[in-house]
Structure formats: structure tokens, C-alpha cells
Structure 1
Amino acid sequence: MCDQSTPFVDETAVDPALLRTLVAAGLPATGCFLPKAGWVSRVWVGDEYVVRLSNGQFRDAFRHEATVVSLLAGSEVLRARHLAHGDGPDGPWYISERLPGRTMHEAWPAADLATRQAMIESLGVALRALHRVAVPAGLLPPWLGDALAGEPRAEFHPPVVSAALQQVEGARRLPGHDSRLLADVADWIQERLALFAADEPVLVHGDLHGSNVIVDQGRVSGLIDFAEALAQPADVELDTILRWCAKAREYPPVPEGRGLDETTLAEVPGWLHGAYPELFEREHLRERLLFYDMQRELALHAHHPLPDIREAAQGRIAVLLSGHNHLDGLVW
């Protein structure tokens, strides 16, 4: 073990990328850092701060995250304070303070029922605070703008209501697309756009699940990873949260990891509803959530580089047109 006064002499010290990033940020190369894997970033968790080094897959993601976190200044939103970010020879980097505790994904399996409920109820409080933050109406991650413009991507992204028909057009540019299916989708979307006409955009996290929530002593100590944050209706937040509850095994913290058992999340929607009821009280909520899910599937169908993933998304689109998806088994 080493402490804060110990220079880097352990195994983490031999990683020159970490050292270069700390130097670039003007931070001392002392203390212990635990290397952790991530989906698109290398991560080192230190005693006082967390260092992330991106593979560059998401254009300007860290710059966007820094912008979003600056919007939270003076608010009651629980989050990790931004310390520095930049671009270096190893790629884009971002450094934030370390929050107390660990991810909800890590804490969940050993937590008893009362502790799990307390964590979700405090998440509801944290989300309400987030959705009260003033936000520019057009706030959008640069990489998401690229995706909506048709750039191939291996990931889905948060729904953007105004871009729904644009995504249908993207799917129509695919060779061998099902023109009848996409015509039905376009009509389906047109029929539902009026549901969103009176919406006020708020700041939504956009990727909220167990790995992006830090908990300590049974309560949320902060939300992390705002690279997908954007201005959209508040119930867009439910798109990821409820999918996580229904398909938790698809949300491992790292590519080769394991997601949670969905049966342990069965009470989460009800607990969240109790803590933040207005998030669930939008008229025609079920139809709105189906609309958001349709955008996710269209994004995969139109932009994913792998044909089998695109084909699977097309099958789920057909199911959505019939009014069904993963929400069928959830209760809130």
C-alpha cells in the first residue's frame, strides 16, 4: 500500500499515459491509483481524484462533459467536481474529484432491500435537482450531432425528439432496407409528435444506470459521466433507467463484465416513482416511452456497422409498432 505522500513506485506508476496526463493537468504524481477498465476510456481511481483517458470514439465528449458540469455550479446536483480536461498525445483526458463510495452497480448485490430502496429514493431526489438546472435549449453532445447526421456508430444514444424522422431517413439510405416497414415507422412517429409539442426541455443525464451513479452509506453521493447529457423532456431519463431495470444483463460496467440480475431490480421503478412522482406523471407516458425506444432502435438499425445488429434492431422495430417492448414486464 502507498499513501498520499508516496511517489509513484507501485505498478500504476509504470503507465506513462497516466503520468503524462497528471503532468498536463498540473497535478502531483503522488498517491495511489487503481486502474479500472471502461467501455471507451481507461480509468484510474485515486485517493482524491479520478483520471479518464478516452479512446477518442466520442468526439469532444470530455469537453462537452466539462460544459455540462459547469452548468451545475451553484445547484444542488450531486456530482463529481471537474478539475481539468484537455487533449494530449494519449488522447482526450478528463480529471474530476473522487466521490465517496462506489458505483451502485458494485454496491447493489450485497445491499439489503431497505438499503436498495434508500439508494433509489435518493436517486429520485438527485434527478429532480438535475432536471431543475437551467439549460440551453439546443444543448447536444458534438458526437451525438455526428450520429444524427449519419455517421456510423456502434452504440445507441439518447433520444432526440426533433430528430426522430431524420433517423428514419438515415435508415432509408441503407442498402436493402425494408421500405414498407420504414414507411409504417414514419407514419407511427408522425402520429405521436404532438405528444411532445408542449414539452419544456430540461437537462437530462442521458445514460443513467447503475455504473453512472455513485452511492455511499446507502445514499447517492453523486452522478458521474455527463458525456451524453442533453436538453430533452425530463422523462427521456426513464428511457435508460427502465431499460436497465428490464435488461440489466446488457449493462455490464465493462465489455467483458456481467450486468446485474434483472429480478433484483423489479422494485426500482416503483421506488423511483414514489420519490419522484412527477417524472412518471406525463400524459400518455407509455406512448412517450415507446417513442423514445423507437429512436434507440432506429439509431442501431441505421448507424450500427454490423449487419446482424442492424437486423436485430429491425425486428424490435416491428415489435414496437405493435405496441410492445421491454416495458411490458415492468410495474411502477
Structure 2
Amino acid sequence: MPNHPPTTPANDPTLLAILKAAALPTTGSFLPKAGWVSRVWVGENHVVRLSTDRFPDAYHHEAAVVALLADTDVPHPRQIAQGTAPQGPWSVTERIPGRTLHETWPTADTPTRQSIIKSLAAALRALHRIPAPPNLRPPWLINALAGHPWPAFHPPVVSATLQNLEAAQQHEDHDPQLLKDVAIWIQDRLPLFATDEQVLVHGDLHGSNIMVDQGQVTGLIDFAEAVAQPADVELDTLLRWCANARDYPPTPDRQGLDESTLTEVPTWLHNAYPELFDRDNLRERLNFYDLYVELAIHAHHPQPDIRQTAQHRIANLLSGHNHLDRLHW
């Protein structure tokens, strides 16, 4: 989001209808922004989103999660209102200062970048101190695990890994021997998670879901994929983003960050939040989360070529290699 006020009058009929439904003034200016799964209007005080409903009940889930953040040290935008219009579900949140980390990062110098990650570590530590309701999952993920279409393939849910394996085995194009090896690999590593505490995990944390102003994180946004999982599940998307940042453009028509600018991020995060990394067999745990994501894609993605790419990545992982090889902390 820009630091300067929006200059586009609020004259979009859909936007005006949402503002009226939310009992908010219909005057003022809003900047329209594109999104992956929603239309967004950024105002001086509020952010309005209209969902394509690809993720059913996502805004209800997000509002419930944001309610858990009240009276905590987790920086986040307050929920103002939500509802449903003829065009789809909508949500209004407060506008918090700054721009996304994705927008801020390219022009920030090294001390500023390090300050941002230190501030992010503090926000995550506060988030992971919040006990999550048992089995907290987004509605779309609950539906997907029940056999409905998969609109996304993250965040990892340890207890659903074998379920994804069974689904992958139903495809005619699966490799029986590979999935047999995967089953053994999973069973050998499930004990690593037996005594984990379930905490509130954002589940989709990367440059576009972190707000920054003057070298500090002003808010974590988009809690639509928040889950109850071990805290180090948070590292799955964060480290995947660091290694493959070009795969995380903020909108379909833009580019992701250059991975070479994120080289130090894992080290800075580790130094500022060491307990997030302080797990026995951390690399094996991170490999397990990676397998979950690739197995979900292999099992559920509608495009055969993408399923095959995931299968190749699974084979590579079982041989001891994945994107984590390129990272250091």
C-alpha cells in the first residue's frame, strides 16, 4: 500500500455498496488494487476486499482468527465488518501504516532489511504464544480434506499427510514404488511430531502478507490460512519464499523478488527468534512439511504436468535434496 493517500474517488458501484453495508462513509478516495483471489480497494482508513469465493468462508475464518489476536502483541489490522454481496463475500479491515514487505524490500538498505526481519521475529514470537483452538483449520481446507476440490496446497497439516498419500495412490499416473517409499519415509518421521504443542500459525507468510513502515513490521495480514500446528510450520512458507521468491509475485501480472536479496533473511530470523529453529531434527521436520505440500499437489492438482513436477520433487526429496539446500542459517 502506498504511504500517500489514495486519490481515486470512491465511485465504483460495488465498493459503494460494500461501504454502505458496512455502515461506513461512502465519501473519500480509494485506490483499486489487483489480487490473486480478490478485488481490493485501499482507502485512507480502511481496506475493502471482495472475494471471488475461491476459498469459501475465508473471511469468516480470518475474522475468527483476528479475534484471537485482540489484546496481544501481534501487529495486525482490526476487523471492521464483513458480509456477502451479490458479487461475493466482502471484508473491511482497518488500514495500517506502510507498504508490503514485497514493495519495500528492493529499495531498503541492509540495516533496514535486518531491522524488518528482527521486527518480524517479534511479531511471530507473539503470534506463536497464542494457544489455538484444537483442529483450527480454514473451512476450505476442511472441505478439501473431506474430498472436495483443493483451492490451495498449504499450509502443512501433519495429521493429514497419510490422507494425501492415499489420495495420490488413486491416480493412474502415480509411481507405485515411489509412493511405497514415501509411506515408509512418512511413518519413520511421524514420531518427530508426537509431543508438539499446537499454536496459532499464520500459514501463508511471505513478502505480500507482511506490512512494513520505517523499517518495522506494522502488521501481519491475510489470516485466511491460519491453522493450529507446531510453530515451526511457519518456516515452511517463509523459507520456501526465501529460496524461490520469484514464485511469489504479489499479483499475477507482477514479478516476485530476486532470491539473491533474501539470502540473509533465514540467518537474521534465526538470530532474532532462535527458539523457532530450536527443534531436534529441524531439517527432517522441514523436509516433512515440504513433502506434505508436494504430496498434496501430486494428489490433488487438476493439471497432470504439475502433478508430475511435484512427483519429481518428491523423488528428489527422498534422495535428500530440496529447496532448503540453497538456504543457510
Note whether the superposition's TM-score is higher than 0.5: yes
1:261-272 pair list within 5 angstroms: 261-272=258-269
The CA deviation at 1:146 is 1.7
Task: Give the counterpart of 2:243 among 209, 222, 246.
Answer: 246
In the aligned structure 1, how far is the partner of 2:314 from the partner of 2:12? 45
Whether 1:106 aligns to 2:103 is yes
Q: Which moved more, 1:180-189 or 1:95-104?
A: 180-189
Whether 1:143 aligns to 2:140 is yes
In the aligned structure 2, how far is the partner of 1:254 from the partner of 1:306? 21
Question: Which residue in the other structure is 2:122 paired with?
Answer: 125
1:227-246 pair list within 5 angstroms: 227-246=224-243
In the aligned structure 1, how far is the partner of 2:10 from the partner of 2:123? 36
Give CA-to-partner distance per residue, 1:70-116, whole Å, 9 cap, x none: 01111111000000111121101111000000000000000000000
In the aligned structure 1, how far is the partner of 2:304 from the partner of 2:11? 40
Q: Which amino acid aligns with 1:104?
A: L
The CA deviation at 1:245 is 0.3
In the aligned structure 2, how far is the partner of 1:94 from the partner of 1:154? 20
Question: Which residue in the other structure is 1:222 paired with?
Answer: 219
The CA deviation at 1:154 is 4.9
Question: Which residue in the other structure is 2:63 paired with?
Answer: 66
* Greater than 4 Å deviation, 4+ residue runs: none
Contact 2:157 2:229 in 1 (8 A): yes
Whether 1:19 aligns to 2:16 is yes
Whether 1:190 aligns to 2:187 is yes
Q: Which amino acid aligns with 2:15?
A: L
Instruction: Report the CA distance shift for 1:139/1:154 in structure 2 as closer, same or farther (over 3 A).
Output: closer
Which blocks of at least 5 consecutive residues in structure 1 are unaligned?
none
Question: Which residue in the other structure is 2:54 paired with?
Answer: 57
TM-score normalised to the size of structure 2? 0.96
Give CA-to-partner distance per residue, 1:99-134, whole Å, 9 cap, x none: 000000000000000000000010000000000112
In the aligned structure 2, how far is the partner of 1:277 from the partner of 1:45? 36
Contact 2:8 2:31 in 1 (8 A): no
Contact 1:41 1:52 in 2 (8 A): yes
User: What SS does the corresponding residue of 2:173 show, helix, strand or coil?
Assistant: coil
In the aligned structure 2, how far is the partner of 1:296 from the partner of 1:88? 33
Question: Which residue in the other structure is 2:152 paired with?
Answer: 155
In the aligned structure 2, how far is the partner of 1:15 from the partner of 1:298? 42
Whether 1:34 aligns to 2:18 is no
Instruction: Report the CA distance shift for 1:23/1:32 in structure 2 as closer, same or farther (over 3 A).
Output: same
Task: Give the counterpart of 1:278 among 253, 275, 291.
Answer: 275
The CA deviation at 1:271 is 0.3
Q: Which amino acid aligns with 1:53?
A: L
Contact 1:35 1:43 in 2 (8 A): yes
The CA deviation at 1:261 is 0.3
In the aligned structure 2, how far is the partner of 1:246 from the partner of 1:318? 19
Contact 1:43 1:52 in 2 (8 A): yes
User: What SS does the corresponding residue of 1:221 show, helix, strand or coil?
Assistant: strand
Contact 2:10 2:28 in 1 (8 A): no
Question: Which residue in the other structure is 1:321 paired with?
Answer: 318
In the aligned structure 2, how far is the partner of 1:175 from the partner of 1:24? 49
Instruction: Report the CA distance shift for 1:137/1:257 in structure 2 as closer, same or farther (over 3 A).
Output: same
User: What SS does the corresponding residue of 2:31 show, helix, strand or coil?
Assistant: strand
Q: Which moved more, 1:302-311 or 1:153-162?
A: 153-162
TM-score normalised to the size of structure 1? 0.96
The CA deviation at 1:171 is 0.7
Q: Which amino acid aligns with 2:272?
A: A
Instruction: Report the CA distance shift for 1:204/1:324 in structure 2 as closer, same or farther (over 3 A).
Output: same
Whether 1:84 aligns to 2:84 is no
Contact 1:154 1:303 in 2 (8 A): no
In the aligned structure 2, how far is the partner of 1:270 from the partner of 1:151? 39
Give CA-to-partner distance per residue, 1:137-186, whole Å, 9 cap, x none: 21110101122233333532100000110000111122222121111111
In the aligned structure 2, how far is the partner of 1:156 from the partner of 1:255? 18
Which blocks of at least 5 consecutive residues in structure 2 are unaligned?
none
The CA deviation at 1:45 is 0.5
Q: Which amino acid aligns with 2:35?
A: G
Q: Which moved more, 1:135-144 or 1:12-21?
A: 12-21
Question: Which residue in the other structure is 1:202 paired with?
Answer: 199
In the aligned structure 1, how far is the partner of 2:9 from the partner of 2:182? 51
Identity within the alignment, %: 66
Q: Which amino acid aligns with 1:168?
A: L
Q: Which amino acid aligns with 2:205?
A: L
